[in-house]
């Protein structure tokens, strides 16, 4: 098996998304998680761009042990000097320098010539080699660069000592075959010595992962990626997609160092820290990636997972797939959910319940366990064992949020107060202190039902208790109340 190096640029290219900036402490947290994931190279920042980026590269270099820490520069001596200073504590360090090579960049960005750009590229690599041994060169907008000229530049920087050559499809323009042929052309026309080729593809036309894989098939041995595919404009190549595509296709005879079971937890961490929700249908890590609502699909999955799942969700750190009950669900899925609720029915009873179920599913978007219990004429005592009786919040600018909560638990009332980082946090902390169960909130989704400020908002909550996942739901004009009720709804589903 050949090794494919994973170069993660979440903390540099990924962080260029407006509103997703992280502070140094948060960057260190992500960098340590990337190290645990098994990433080979962490691009920690662009040191000359700001004091914050410089400091982040310094502190990440101190905090991370074995991955290579990379700092970005332009083909400018000052950039390179500042990057070298920022990397001084890194155990394994790399400088990532380069310049635009397409005719568009040469003419309009640099007002220069191909020969001058080639000389600047060589000068940048040569100068960077004075500070670090490991120098990566990027040919910006290589996707739209003439292959013959691109190969000429690559040969020149390899001769100057570059150890990695990055061929970016900066604008996401290339078709997969076109990008693969570009990598192949370089492999066939350049004496790479001991240097390797790297892909860096963008998602403008939705082909970043396909282009990266075609690059690997044609000889690239490093891929530049971000968690959740975040990044400039439409985003970068998604780490999780490339890694799982490589893992799924054994015939490529390529492997990575990634511990795939840590993908989903890191995906959620980055999403939360950057306040950038993951689209539900996102490959690998989206909420619906392993969810099945079609009756045909549900039937197949319940019989054998491989009928509709090419990846075991546990491989990426997700505990199980999800059978979502909708109007398209079949009898097999309904019976499976009833069995989980410990409701045993014969064929005739199932047919009667299924008819009622379809009528309800046509009217109601979300079919939950409570709905099924009512359809079956049953109600578990635990379902409504805990009820929210009273909630008062004190919150505002310049003050710590305080919540007072009263719960009715099996007829007995309990009251508690708690401080928190905002009204929802304070209220849920107060509930936690009353129920005294060690539950973990895995997913917390707030959605507006309508667009007005006084309309209903709905909250979906996913919690984990003793390695089992439970779901809660509520809707209310007050989002704090809805959040607490959804949390309690999930708690109520834990067996007493």
- Residues flagged as binding site for Mn(2+): 13, 200, 202, 236
* DSSP structure class, residue 329: -
**CA nearest neighbour of 8 among 36, 47, 34:** 34
**Exposure of 178 by Cβ count < 10 A (0-12 exposed, 13-18 middle, 19+ buried)?**
middle
Alpha-carbon distance 11 to 127, whole Å? Answer: 25
What are the φ and ψ backbone dihedral angles of 135, each rounded to 5 degrees?
A: -120, 125
User: By C-alpha distance, which of 284, 288, 180, 175 is closest to 227?
Assistant: 284
d(CA 495, CA 474): 20
Q: Which residues of 404-431 are buried (b: 16+ CB within 10 A; e: fewer)?
A: bbbbeeeeeeeebebebeebbbbbbbbb
Which residue do the tokens 């061929």 mark?
167
**In what side-by-side order are the strands of the sheet with 386-396?**
386-396, 399-409, 412-420
266 burial class (0-12, 13-18, 19+ CB within 10 angstroms)?
Answer: buried
d(CA 289, CA 86): 40
What are the strands, taking DSSP E only, across 33-170?
Answer: 41-45, 68-72, 93-100, 135-140, 164-169
At residue 138, the 3 state secondary structure works out as strand
- For residue 119, give the H/E element and its range: helix 114-128
| Alpha helices per DSSP H over 251-318 | 263-273, 295-303
Residues 6 or more apart in contact with residue 231 via CB below 8 angstroms = 9, 13, 14, 16, 17, 202, 203
Q: β-strand 399-409 against 386-396: which pairing, if any?
A: antiparallel
Helices and strands, counts by H and E, the chain: 16, 18
Residue among 170, 259, 261, 167 nearest 221 (CA): 167
Angle, helices 24-37 vs 263-273, to 10°: value is: 170
Report CA-CA distances (Å) from 415 to 162, 389, 486: 66, 10, 18
CA angle centred on 144, ends 136 and 174, rounded to 5°: 95
């Amino acid at each position: 098996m050949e090794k494919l190096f994973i170069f993660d640029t979440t903390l540099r290219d990924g962080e260029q998304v407006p509103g997703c900036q992280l502070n140094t402490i948060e960057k260190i947290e992500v960098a340590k998680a990337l190290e645990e994931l098994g990433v080979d190279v962490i691009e920690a920042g662009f040191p000359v761009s700001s004091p914050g980026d410089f400091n982040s590269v310094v502190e990440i270099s101190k905090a991370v042990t074995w991955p290579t820490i990379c700092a970005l520069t332009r083909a400018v001596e000052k950039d390179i000097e500042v990057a070298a200073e920022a990397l001084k504590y890194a155990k394994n360090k790399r400088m990532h320098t380069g310049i635009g090579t397409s005719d568009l960049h040469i003419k309009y960005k640099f007002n220069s010539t191909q020969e001058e750009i080639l000389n600047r590229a060589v000068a940048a690599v040569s100068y960077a080699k004075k500070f670090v041994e490991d120098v990566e060169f990027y040919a910006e907008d290589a996707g739209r660069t003439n292959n013959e000229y691109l190969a000429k530049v690559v040969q020149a920087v390899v001769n100057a000592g570059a150890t990695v050559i990055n061929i970016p499809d900066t604008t996401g323009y290339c078709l997969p075959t076109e990008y693969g042929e570009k990598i192949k052309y370089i492999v066939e026309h350049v004496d790479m010595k001991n240097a390797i080729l790297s892909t860096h593809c963008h998602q403008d036309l939705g082909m970043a992962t396909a282009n990266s894989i075609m690059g690997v098939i044609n000889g690239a041995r490093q891929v530049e990626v971000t968690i959740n595919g975040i990044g400039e404009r439409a985003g970068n190549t998604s780490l999780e997609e490339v890694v799982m595509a490589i893992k799924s296709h054994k015939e490529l005879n390529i492997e990575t160092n990634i511990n795939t079971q840590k993908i989903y937890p890191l995906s959620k961490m980055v999403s939360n820290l950057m306040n950038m929700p993951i689209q539900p249908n996102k490959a690998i890590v989206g909420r619906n990636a392993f969810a099945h609502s079609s009756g045909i699909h549900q039937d197949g999955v319940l019989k054998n997972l491989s009928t509709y799942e090419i990846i075991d969700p546990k491989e990426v750190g997700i505990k199980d797939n999800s059978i979502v009950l909708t109007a398209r669900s079949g009898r097999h899925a309904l019976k499976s959910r009833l069995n989980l609720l410990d409701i045993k029915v014969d064929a005739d009873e199932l047919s009667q319940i299924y008819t009622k179920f379809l009528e309800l599913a046509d009217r109601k978007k979300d079919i939950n366990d409570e709905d099924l219990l009512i359809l079956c004429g049953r109600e578990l005592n635990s379902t409504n064992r805990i009820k929210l009786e009273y909630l008062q919040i004190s919150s505002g600018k310049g003050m710590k949020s305080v919540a007072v909560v009263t719960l009715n638990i099996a007829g007995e009332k309990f009251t508690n107060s708690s401080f928190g980082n905002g009204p929802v946090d304070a209220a849920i902390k107060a509930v936690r202190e009353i129920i005294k169960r060690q539950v973990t909130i895995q997913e917390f989704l707030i959605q507006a039902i309508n667009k007005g400020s006084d309309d209903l908002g709905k909250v979906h909550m996913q919690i984990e208790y003793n390695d089992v996942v439970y779901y809660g739901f509520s809707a209310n004009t007050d989002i704090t109340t809805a959040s607490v009720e959804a949390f309690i709804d999930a708690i109520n589903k834990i067996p007493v």
